[in-house]
Amino acid sequence: MLVFFFVLASALFLVQRDCWEDIDAKPTEASTLLGGIKHERSTGFRGFIDCGIEPAPMLRPRGLGALWVYAGYWLLTAFALIVAAVIVSSTLIVIGVILINRDQTQTLANSVYVYQTFPGGAVVTKQLLSLSFSLGAFAAFFLVAAQHPDDRRTFMNNVLVCYRQALLVYSIYWRARDQAAEWTRVPVDVRPSDQQRRATAPESSPDTGSA
């Protein structure tokens, strides 16, 4: 329960009321983010940029799309905090197994419940796991509660870098779709199958209609 409280408090400290402020990118940021995409098929959206498509600002989704974007924002933030807590907890568990034996646990906690015993008297106890997980969650809370605003911005940029890259590419392709009719002189709501059907359909003559 204490671990959940610290992780939840950390997330509330870290996220903003308007999540889009952390997600959206300025033109200078957009160039840096897109430059970090290492993909063999990245020439597609880069070609649209060369044709004049602006990647920033991102297209802000509405309705159900906004719900999915904000859910992803919260999940990535929570995942980053959990990873930080797990790293600290794992380190404390290793140190505790090496330095604290069963008798010392009994002395310090007035009780001991052993989960696993290793050669040399090393043990994994319930008390050690409980203390390590609690301190790990507190470390995640301290990480965000004691941050300077600039440090928080850097932290969120690192957490959301791939997420923001994906949304930037989405914005590029969506704007390219809006320009498709002007570029190709073909309405975007016309399917290729519809055009092929019209081209292959036989033309009806007036005589056929009167018969």
HEC profile of 50-105: HCCCCCCCCCCCCCHHHHHHHHHHHHHHHHHHHHHHHHHHHHHHHHHHHHCEHHHH
pLDDT above 60 (res 208)? no
Six-digit token string for 65: 């799309």
User: What are the pLDDT digits (tens) for 36-45?
Assistant: 887 666 667 7
Q: Specify if 10 maps to a domain.
A: yes
Residue type, position 198, single letter: R
In a domain, 51, yes or no: no
The answer as to whether 98 is a domain residue is yes
Percent of the chain with pLDDT over 70: 86
DSSP state of 19: T
- Asked whether residue 124 is domain-assigned, the answer is yes
- Residue position matching structure tokens 């999915």: 68
Residue 80 lies in a domain: yes
Q: Which residues pair with 125 in a beta bridge?
A: 114
Whether 187 contacts 181, CB under 8 Å: yes
Domain assignment present for residue 131? The answer is yes
What is the H or E stretch that residue 115 is in?
Answer: strand 114-117
Task: Give 12's contacts (C-beta < 8 A, 6+ positions apart).
Answer: none
- 90 lies in a domain? yes
Q: What is the pLDDT of residues 40-88, one digit of tens each?
A: 666 677 788 888 888 888 888 888 888 899 999 999 999 999 999 999 9
**In which domain, by residue range, is 138 found?**
1-17+71-146
Domain count, the chain: 1
Residue 56 forms part of a structural domain: no
Contact between residue 169 and residue 37 where contact means Cβ atoms under 8 Å apart: yes
What are the pLDDT digits (tens) for 113-167?
989 888 888 889 999 999 999 999 999 998 888 888 888 888 998 999 999 998 9
